[in-house]
Structure 1
Amino acid sequence: MPFIEVTNRLKITAMDCWTIGNDPKDVIVARVAGTYAVATLWNAVYKEAPESAKPNSICETVTSYYKTIFDYTTCSYNHNVVTNL
């Protein structure tokens, strides 16, 4: 699994990573890997589809994604972001 390889190389845990994607499969893989799953809707073919996989966060626009990162990092958490393109 690519996520495990990335976390091993960076010497971090999966819980310290975010994975973003616009497909339910992206969200499912992220959750299985133990990362924070973010569904993006700005390029999704079916806007409801990524939501069905129950991501940790849903972002409808790039601006809402940046706001989600800001809100998350200004809490007591310090997480790295790993993007799934």
Structure 2
Amino acid sequence: MMESEDRLYRDKVLQLTEEEVQRIRIPIIEKYEREGHPYYSSARLWDDGVIDPVDTRTVLGLGLSVSYNAPQPFPPTRFGVFRM
């Protein structure tokens, strides 16, 4: 993000002062800090939630068990892999 701002100023043959660099950089860093938290994406339903690291093994085992016991929509075939 900072590189694109710098490129705009470089094309105009202007030099960014340290104050201007900080004025551009601080909002970007604040946005990444705020939106980089796992609860940010979970609150917007971009994922299925946050798992407590202590419960990782239990949740993984439950997911594997569910996928293993799910009904198969089609009977298994005896065909190999079709290659083009």
TM-score range relative to shorter protein: under 0.3
- Structure with larger RCO (C-alpha < 8 A, sep 6+): 1
- TM (norm. structure 2) is 0.28
**Greater share of residues in helix:** 2
- TM (norm. structure 1) is 0.28
Considering only CA atoms, is the larger Rg found in Structure 1 or Structure 2?
Answer: 2
